[in-house]
Amino acid sequence: MPNEIRKDYILDRWVIIASERAKRPTDYSGRPSERTEAKTCPFCPGNERKTPPAVLLYLPSDGGIKRAKDSDGERVKNWLVRCIPNLYPALSPRNSISLVEDDLHRRSDGVGAHEVLIESPNHDEHPSNGRLEQIELVVQAYLDRLKGLSKWEYVSIFRNHGKEAGASLSHAHSQIMATPMVPERISDELAACRSWLEKKDACPYCEIIEAERSSPRFIFENESFIAFAPWASVYPFEFWLLPKKHQHTLLQLDERGKRDFSRALRMCFGSLATILNDPPYSYGFHIAPTRGQHECFHWHLEVYPKLSIQAGFENSTGMFINVTPPEVAAQSLRESLPRI
- Kindly list the catalytic residues: 173
What is the contact mask toward Zn ion in residues 45 to 74, using x (rule: CB under 5 A)?
Answer: ------------------------------
Q: Which is nearer to Zn ion, 19 or 310 (CB)?
A: 310
Q: Which listed range, 43-51, 61-69, 248-256, 271-279, lies at the site for Zn ion (CB under 5 A)?
A: 43-51
Sign of the C-alpha dihedral, residues 37, 38, 39, 42?
A: positive
Whose Cβ is closer to Zn ion: residue 115's or residue 119's?
119
Residue 81's Cβ-count burial label (10 Å; 0-12, 13-18, 19+) is buried
Stretch that binds Zn ion, among 34-42, 51-59, 271-279, 307-315 (CB under 5 A): 34-42
**CA–CA separation, 214 vs 219, rounded Å?**
10
Which of 14, 43, 154, 304 is in the footprint of Zn ion by CB under 5 A?
43
Half-sphere exposure of 244 toward its Cβ, with a 13 Å CA cutoff? Answer: 17
25/48 Cα distance (integer angstroms): 20
Q: If DSSP codes are grouped into helix, strand and coil, which group holds residue 74? A: strand
Options 14, 142, 205, 220; binder of Zn ion; rule CB under 5 A: 205
Among 7, 75, 123, 306, binds Zn ion (CB under 5 A): 123
In whole angstroms, the minimum distance from the beta carbon of 158 to Zn ion comes to: 12
> What is the rounded CA–CA span in Å between residue 124 and residue 323?
30
From candidates 5, 41, 91, 146, binder to Zn ion by CB under 5 A: 41
Site membership for Zn ion, residue 206 (CB under 5 A)? yes
Q: Which residues contact 157 (CB under 8 A, 6 or more apart)?
A: 142, 145, 146, 174, 175, 176, 250, 284, 285, 287
3-state helix, strand, coil in the chain (%, to 5): 30, 25, 50
**From the CB of 160, what's the least distance to Zn ion, in Å?**
15
Nearer to Zn ion, 93 or 125 (CB): 125
Amino acid at 282: S
For residue 291, the one-letter residue type is: R
Shortest distance, CB of residue 277 to Zn ion, whole angstroms? 21
Nearest to 25 by CA among 169, 177, 171: 169
Give the nearest distance from C-beta 57 to Zn ion in angstroms: 16
Closest separation in Å from C-beta 50 to Zn ion:
11
Residues 284-313, one symbol each (x = binds Zn ion by CB under 5 A, - = not), give: --x-----------x---------------
> Which residue lies nearer to Zn ion by CB, 114 or 286?
286
* Nearest distance, CB of residue 189 and Zn ion, angstroms: 5
Counting residues that bind Zn ion (by CB under 5 A) gives 11
- Each residue 147-176 as x (binds Zn ion by CB under 5 A) or -, in order, gives ------------------------x-----
Touching Zn ion, residues 229-258 (CB under 5 A): 246
> What is the C-alpha separation between 171 and 188, in angstroms, rounded?
33
Enclosing H/E stretch for 81: strand 81-85
144, 56 Cβ separation under 8 angstroms: yes
CB of 130 to Zn ion, least distance (A): 14
Evaluate whether 303 touches 268 at the Cβ level (below 8 Å): yes
The whole-angstrom distance between residue 174's C-alpha and the CA centroid of its chain comes to: 7
Which residues sit at the interface with Zn ion, rule CB under 5 A?
A: 41, 43-44, 123, 171, 203, 205-206, 246, 286, 298
